[in-house]
Structure 1
Amino acid sequence: MLASRLLPDHLTFPFLLKSCSLHHAHVTGRALHSHIFRLGFVADVYINNSLVFMYSACGQVELARRVFEEMPERDVISENSMLGGYLKCGDLDDALVFFRGMEMRNVRTWNSIIAGFVRGGRCGEALDLFNEMRGGFVKPDKITVASVVSACASLGALDMGKWVHGYLRRERLEFDLVIGTSLIDMYGKCGSIERAFEVFREMPKRDVQAWTVMISVLAIHGRGEEAFVLLEEMEKTGMRPNNVTFGALLSACAHSGTVDKGRWCFDVMRRVYSIEPQLQHYACMVDLLGRAGLFEEAEMLIASMPMKPDVFVWGALLGACRMHGNVELGEKIAGCLISMDPLNHAYFIILSDIYANAKRFEDVKRIRDFMEDQGIMKTSPGHSLIEIDGQVYEFSRRSVKEELMKEIEWVLIGINVELMWTGYVPDDDMELFLTA
């Protein structure tokens, strides 16, 4: 076009910039930006919006912010594009500050900030934003619902999840595969298996992912027999299970302790469906065999793997060593894992648990002293979540106020007294392990 000496107009550049966005070609985008400047389109809001979106999509949030601040005219699209840039880069704090300062917000704005906080693992704040959205008289759509359901699944916020499900029905929003599958996952993670089944049965259409998620729900709750019944039903519909489905089935076998069924599943996966086991499948099988105390078979399976075992495979075997008190193998596996990830506190903690269960408290102290000398500690404190009247509250040892902690300690002392009245005697031998 340029070689033909035909000058582009204000409609040309947005298409070119969109192409750069799709291919993350910010270098080409900057070259186009130079053409825009030379041709005098710097005041065009449509082109500037495309520039902000392009830089944001390419992860160049500082350049996006520079264009945004120099725009003589802005609209809600400009602000949404800038907000999306912060969220894409994972800068949630700056995204929230920018969001608070936005003059114009639409449902897409709210969807972006809520989805961004869910992806960033800050689901409690995502639900707070959703409640704020409802209070601001902005009507949620099915995209909002999908994000909020995902947040409820992460937090175990069943009451909020039920409300969102009810809202979906009341507003007659589209009940598509994504929403249906998300609801199944949410109810399953919140322990409401029957409701998960209700949603599954109500779905007008089911894909492999929907079947797999329902099987996974049964798996995590130890209902292995029902998971395999669902597999048979799935096959009768002509739907072929995939590698994720078999991962869920093997997990079901591990949770329900059905070793023979797990061996059958692992064999059928390769022989009938031509699906080569991946690392997660081997980890599930090692977990299954380890829980059953079949350490030799588990080690033989690991030795036969066509790929190098990862931390999840070895970790499954280490967990089994703790369960069955296999000190010798536990030391060997823990050494292997520590060599792979020397600063991961979990392996040291599990090894110290194995020693404590074997009453080798000198070794427990040695492990804890080593962790202290090396500065190895838990990366995040343990925390608890509780939902009351649809509001999720989160607290940990570090974040609880002193007055509340005193009240918690008072309740724990009362529980301890009640236990002692029933004849409970604490194990003094564990004192070193607990206080180390």
Structure 2
Amino acid sequence: MKDFKPIHAHILRSGQIMDSFVASKMLEFCAVSGRNIDYALHMFNYIDSRDAYMWTTMIRGFVQVRMPEKAIEFYYLMRSQGFEPNKFTFLFVLKAYSLIPNSQEAIILYGKLLKLGFYFDEFIRNALIHVYLKCGDIMAARLLFDEIPTDNVVIWNTMISGCFNYGDTESAQKLFDEMPNRNVASWNAVISGYSKCGHIDVARSVFDVMPEKDLVSWSVMISSYVQSRRAGEALNLFKEMQLSGIQPDGVTMASVLSACAQVGALDMGRWIHAYVAKNKLRHDVFLGTSLVDMYAKSGCIDTALQVFNSMPQRNVCSWNAMLGGLAMHGRGADTLALFREMESSGLAPNDVTFVGVLSACNHIGSVDEGRRQFDRMENEFNIKPKIEHYGCMVDILGRSGLIDEAKTLIKNMPVEPNVVVWGALLTAFKIQGDTDVGEEVMRGLKKMAPGDGGCYVLLSNIYAAGNQWGEVEKMRKMMRNMGTKGKVPGCSSIEVSSVVHEFFVNDKSHPQCREVYELISRISKPLEVEGYVPNPSLVLYNIDE
């Protein structure tokens, strides 16, 4: 746009703006390439010799910046001024309707397309099927699909993706099996569909038998593992991708960085950072945010700050990653200072932002600041507090000894308290040495967390600290009856030479298991000599007894 404006000025001075071809190309640049729809609208209003192409360009521009209502308004304005829409106009209008699903409007548009003869165009039919799928009318979409048999692979792919989006994996697989032609996008749609439905292993089996894989195939599978918290498998697949000769892009790298963040694979994360710089990959806001998140979650908070400060552009996710990272490292004052900087930048916070802010208030033990920020959410930013925010406030109040206020907050919550909220209250009881837990806590736990061993162990510890051994035994029996056996064992991980090794409680599966336990034994003996005595106050008994 900076280069365009002097050219625009020259065209105005020379009178070439009267040439409809020149005017339409200028408009197309602003609305589509330059993505400056306001400037394009200003130009459009000053063009006298408008044509259908210019109207279509404006509709396309509004769709591209996700202003579908304005695009549809322009479509009706175009018709009211006597301009007849063409096939391309309808393609963008259908795209607008897919962004604001309305089946009634789609039916009206269907009639218009039929009347003008555009219905039989395969691009139009594909767009119309997509609109019906977005409207939730999968039956109408299937009727359109079945009405005129086609071997157009794009239409088949759209229908397959639509079935997956509604969880109908059986119909999607049947369509895939019946396809007259397939391309790599067809396979990618199936991998993505199974992943979205939670069938990651099925998606991987499809991925493994693909006759040809492209960058999207690898990226979709890696992203699916990351979103399913299967970071180790994501990193292994990324290494396979490198061996296959496929060059990753920024999207792939952002997913791999998320995997690194999940397991603290710092060496791999640093390698990716160096790879991005060396290969001059587009360092957009998403990749930058992923780097910040990875460094913060891997313990390198100062490096995360350096990356954050060097980002040319930041969105709310970037700020949230940095705020959350600082809060996670106990740097509450720095978190609040950064939040003030975020406010000064003019960017509005969201609900995730306030989780980090309230966590920071908890770390510095500031009840007043916590209350103030909690009140600001709804009063200043129109953000309704969620269960996470109430959990933070209960923790802030409880750790400061304000247990009665914490109880009142839970009682007046507009949503049912969950296990996190009750856990925060139990932690407060433990810290304050208060053994008068109360019946409402017991009832809440029985209702919300019948199988959560952690809360019952904590509750048992509270009773034991007050020598209420009868209550301790009652807790033990209750856990036995509910089958609470510590189903999820404790896990730790360590990265060595870019390989992440995971260890579970009493784990003997690691190939170097013997060496690991021998080293633990060698470390334990000098500790005992130095006078180290373990503190068993939080492990009063083994649930498995």
Place the TM-score, normalised by the shorter chain, in its bin: 0.7 to 0.9
Instruction: Choose which of 22, 25, 29 in structure 1 pairs with 2:134.
Output: 22
* CA pair 425-225 structure 1, distance change in 2 beyond 3 A: closer
Matched, 1:329 2:441: no
User: For residue 105 of structure 1, what is the aligned residue in structure 2?
Assistant: 213
Instruction: Choose which of 89, 94, 114 in structure 1 pairs with 2:202.
Output: 94
Instruction: Choose which of 429, 451, 464 in structure 2 pairs with 1:343.
Output: 451
* CA pair 370-258 structure 1, distance change in 2 beyond 3 A: same
Deviation string 1:14-38 (CA, Å, 9 cap, x unpaired) is 223332443343222321232134x
User: For residue 321 of structure 2, what is the aligned residue in structure 1?
Assistant: 213
Q: How far apart, in 2, do the equivalents of 1:10 and 1:270 lie? A: 48
* Superposition deviation, residue 111 in structure 1: 0.9
Q: Tell me which amino acid in the other structure corresponds to 2:362.
A: A
User: For residue 120 of structure 2, what is the aligned residue in structure 1?
Assistant: 8
User: For residue 345 of structure 2, what is the aligned residue in structure 1?
Assistant: 237
Q: How far apart, in 1, do the equivalents of 2:348 and 2:124 lie? A: 46
Give ranges in structure 2 of 5+ residues lacking alignment. 1-110
Deviation string 1:276-335 (CA, Å, 9 cap, x unpaired) is 544332321210121122223323433454555443333211121123332112675244
Instruction: Choose which of 482, 485, 501 in structure 2 pairs with 1:374.
Output: 482
Q: Is the 8 A contact 1:286 1:301 kept in 2?
A: yes
Q: How far apart, in 1, do the equivalents of 2:415 and 2:481 lie? A: 35
* CA pair 121-219 structure 1, distance change in 2 beyond 3 A: same
Q: Is the 8 A contact 1:49 1:77 kept in 2?
A: yes
Q: How far apart, in 1, do the equivalents of 2:393 and 2:237 lie? A: 41
Q: How far apart, in 2, do the equivalents of 1:431 and 1:237 lie? A: 47
Q: Report the secondary structure of 2:181's partner residue.
A: coil
Write out aligned runs for 1:129-168 (5 A).
129-168=237-276
Q: How far apart, in 1, do the equivalents of 2:248 and 2:445 lie? A: 46
User: For residue 21 of structure 2, what is the aligned residue in structure 1?
Assistant: none
User: For residue 90 of structure 2, what is the aligned residue in structure 1?
Assistant: none
Q: Tell me which amino acid in the other structure corresponds to 1:73.
A: N
* CA pair 33-364 structure 1, distance change in 2 beyond 3 A: same
Q: Report the secondary structure of 1:381's partner residue.
A: coil
Write out aligned runs for 1:294-373 (5 A).
294-305=402-413, 307-329=415-437, 333-361=441-469, 363-373=471-481
Greater mean alpha carbon deviation, residues 82-91 or residues 240-249: 240-249
Instruction: Choose which of 171, 191, 209 in structure 1 pairs with 2:279.
Output: 171
Q: How far apart, in 2, do the equivalents of 1:23 and 1:399 lie? A: 50
* CA pair 261-10 structure 1, distance change in 2 beyond 3 A: closer
Deviation string 1:346-365 (CA, Å, 9 cap, x unpaired) is 22121122234445455434
* CA pair 308-401 structure 1, distance change in 2 beyond 3 A: closer
Q: Tell me which amino acid in the other structure corresponds to 2:162.
A: M
Write out aligned runs for 1:386-405 (5 A).
386-397=494-505, 400-401=508-509, 404-405=512-513
Q: How far apart, in 2, do the equivalents of 1:429 and 1:148 lie? A: 40
User: For residue 202 of structure 1, what is the aligned residue in structure 2?
Assistant: 310
* CA pair 14-366 structure 1, distance change in 2 beyond 3 A: same
Write out aligned runs for 1:224-263 (5 A).
224-263=332-371
* Superposition deviation, residue 95 in structure 1: 0.8
* Superposition deviation, residue 250 in structure 1: 1.3
Q: How far apart, in 2, do the equivalents of 1:206 and 1:290 lie? A: 35
* CA pair 33-239 structure 1, distance change in 2 beyond 3 A: closer
What TM-score, normalized to structure 2?
0.72
The share of aligned pairs that are identical, in percent, is 39
Larger RCO (CA within 8 A; separation ≥ 6): 1
Q: Report the secondary structure of 1:318's partner residue.
A: helix
Structure with greater Cα Rg = 2
Q: How far apart, in 2, do the equivalents of 1:331 and 1:215 lie? A: 37
What TM-score, normalized to structure 1?
0.88
Q: Report the secondary structure of 1:261's partner residue.
A: helix
Residues matched between the structures, number: 432
Greater mean alpha carbon deviation, residues 298-307 or residues 310-319: 298-307
Q: How far apart, in 2, do the equivalents of 1:135 and 1:321 lie? A: 54
Q: Is the 8 A contact 2:461 2:538 kept in 1?
A: no
* CA pair 233-311 structure 1, distance change in 2 beyond 3 A: same
Write out aligned runs for 1:265-276 (5 A).
265-269=373-377, 273=381, 275=383
Greater mean alpha carbon deviation, residues 146-155 or residues 228-237: 228-237
* Superposition deviation, residue 343 in structure 1: 2.5
Instruction: Choose which of 175, 186, 195 in structure 1 pairs with 2:294.
Output: 186
Q: Report the secondary structure of 1:222's partner residue.
A: coil
Q: Tell me which amino acid in the other structure corresponds to 2:354.
A: F
Greater mean alpha carbon deviation, residues 419-428 or residues 363-372: 419-428
Q: Is the 8 A contact 1:53 1:82 kept in 2?
A: yes
* Superposition deviation, residue 269 in structure 1: 4.5
Q: Is the 8 A contact 2:258 2:294 kept in 1?
A: yes
